[in-house]
Structure 1
Amino acid sequence: MHISRQQTESAERGPRARTRKLMLETATRLMQSGVTPSVSEVAEAAEVSRATAYRYFPSQAALVHAVVDEALGPILDWKADVPDARARVGDLIKTAMPRIDEFEATFKAALKLSLDQWAQRQAGTLGSEPQFTRGHRVELLRDAIAPLTGTVPNDARERLVQALSLVFGIEVLVVLKDIWGLTSERAQSVAEWAAAALVDATIREAGNGA
């Protein structure tokens, strides 16, 4: 069962909230410095016992998931009532990219964990550590292109979401800032242009009966 960020926040306004908040703030600080910390490392930095830390976050994957959800913040709450897919996708990128840029180091640390786990699975050394999964962008992008339902075939809409996934997220900054050396503002502009082009191409294709 999916538990929303709002439900989690509401459920943790009691006495345990301060400890959990301390651990998340400590983990965020470490991840913003470029580290992908273990639960034990966060416990030590936060001066919390390991037993207590593991009660809140039973695995590194659970800890990083929680930190990422906090960092995503308003992106997870994004909603748009505009009945135009192109405008909705543009609004989502305008909302998301400054936040992703602000927490760039945190999202890169999470990406590093995902890549490290992939390498460990390939080598058969991951053991019982739960897999760190990513995928918030899928539902966000599906919501953004929802106005195309009924005018664009299902398989074309799903392909569009998959294509938009390539220009939405931390990977965009890895390519455009780290490889191309673009500024944050220019990287966002390129992402917006690419997303609009993909939406327009999909609509055009559907109109031509392709």
Structure 2
Amino acid sequence: MAVSNQEQTPVEAEERGARARTARLMLDTAVQLMQGGIVPSVSDVAEAAGVSRATAYRYFPSQAALVQAVVDEALGPILDWKSASVEATERVGDLLSSSLPRIDAFEATFRAALKLSLDQWAQRQAGTQGSEPQFTRGHRIDLLRDAVAPLRGRIPEAGLDRLGKALSLLFGIEALIVIKDIWGGSAEEAREVVLWAANALMAAAEAEADKS
């Protein structure tokens, strides 16, 4: 008897459950390693999780795919951020305020991801990256575009694009690194500086919109 797409045999259900558990184990293991400051390879995660390398590569075909999955897991609710406000400044403040504690909590993970990005850049410059896929970053682009969306039509698109790029300097692990590592500050100080700078940028953008 044929089985519909909605129905599963007990064996199929068990196999699907086993795959989900293995995927969860792999991801949790990778998160633990990156929270320890390590940029793990797929083989590293396989060994730590107690699964074969062949199994690990079925879930994460490259280091870039592995790290991207961990970054998405660390970002968590940030990726689902939405605002009901119609005020761009309020939306930007809400995005940054709600995101910074999560970024601080997973600081080691985001630092490790940044390290991979920088290492791959160096490899590309030296021509030694080979066939390893490039790890790309950019979730902040869509989030910030959504945050400043109320200004669309009030300022030129070039100005809106510039604003998004300026705000992106404040949104992410880079801001924490500058305040903590260079200035010797705390996560709370980083939050205060980021919000102050964001408000200054938004005030400039609002003034530009009023002149249009």
Confirm or deny: 8 A CA contact 2:88 2:149 kept in the other structure: yes
Letter aligned with residue 187 of structure 1: A
Letter aligned with residue 56 of structure 2: A
Of 105, 108, 113, the residue aligned with 2:108 is 105
State, as a whole percentage, how many aligned pairs show the same letter.
69
**Residue correspondence of structure 1 range 49-198 to structure 2 within 5 A:** 49-198=52-201
Q: Distance in 2 between matches of 1:110 and 1:168?
A: 15
Q: Deviations over 1:81-123 (max 9, x none)?
A: 1000000000000110000000000000000000000000000
SS for the counterpart of 2:193 is: helix
Of 191, 201, 205, the residue aligned with 1:202 is 205
Confirm or deny: 8 A CA contact 2:151 2:209 kept in the other structure: no
Letter aligned with residue 200 of structure 1: A
Query: Quick check: which has more Rg, 1 or 2?
Result: 2
Letter aligned with residue 202 of structure 2: V
Structure 1 position 14, deviation (Å): 3.7
SS for the counterpart of 1:190 is: helix
Structure 1 position 182, deviation (Å): 1.2
Alignment RMSD, CA only?
0.9
Confirm or deny: 8 A CA contact 2:35 2:108 kept in the other structure: yes
Q: Distance in 1 between matches of 2:28 and 2:83?
A: 30
Q: Structure 1: which 4+ aligned runs deviate by more than 4 Å?
A: none
Return 5+ residue gaps in structure 1 as ranges. 1-12
Q: Distance in 2 between matches of 1:129 and 1:111?
A: 16
Q: Distance in 2 between matches of 1:204 and 1:14?
A: 55
